[in-house]
Structure 1
Amino acid sequence: MYVSLIANTIGVEKMKIVEKNIVKLHDQGLLVSNNGGLKYYFNKINDVRSEMFTNSIINAKLAALEFVKHFVSKLSKIKNANQKYFEFFSFDRSFGNQKLYPQRILRMVATISYYLPFFII
């Protein structure tokens, strides 16, 4: 007998229990396949977007201030700031199949451009 099961849930811990019990179904003669394994979806991106963009601007300003300290006399205002995309990384990249671990690092890629004063020597 073959059974196909798709489960969408926010209860990741509960799904881990279900996954362990699938072995019992296999032992009872059910054909169990792993069609790509577990997939995790993050549906709270709008809850963190603003804070992450603000942090990106702060970090960009710190980097720009470090740059102007060595090459230019001062930093002017922001020319433009664009949020590019979000990216997920495995929480711990040191071992095993990372698809099995639900913890991820969320990174936002942004471009922030500043005006720099132009000096003629």
Structure 2
Amino acid sequence: MLAVVAGAAGYLAVVDPNQPGHYPTCPFYAITGYYCPGCGSLRMIHALTHGHVAEAFGRNALAFVTLPLLAYLWVRWAVALRRGRPLRAGILRPWLIIIFSVVGIVFWIVRNLPAGHALAP
């Protein structure tokens, strides 16, 4: 799994998603003209691989702040797999999942409003 993520990040580092024609357009954006919660994530990863942290945050703030949580969950999964133990829910409490879902939906709506233009990719 780590090799796949590293390979994808390496590809994104080399092939700039800011240049048209390299990656498909977000289907939600193509159909509606509105940004989905994931829009800008490829450009965020491209900016991160080049050390441009502020630019990465500006491309997709929600995905950016979620990266440490994803890294933590991946490490927990890898350690549990290595030890041959099942992965316990731990941080993934139902109320946290609901809160994150609500934050994601609010982010999705606000980034498409004129007042939330700063959250657009």
TM interval, short-chain normalised:
under 0.3
Q: Which has the larger radius of gyration?
A: 1
Identify the structure with the greater strand proportion: 1
- Structure 1 length normalisation: TM-score? 0.21
Identify the structure with the greater helix proportion: 2
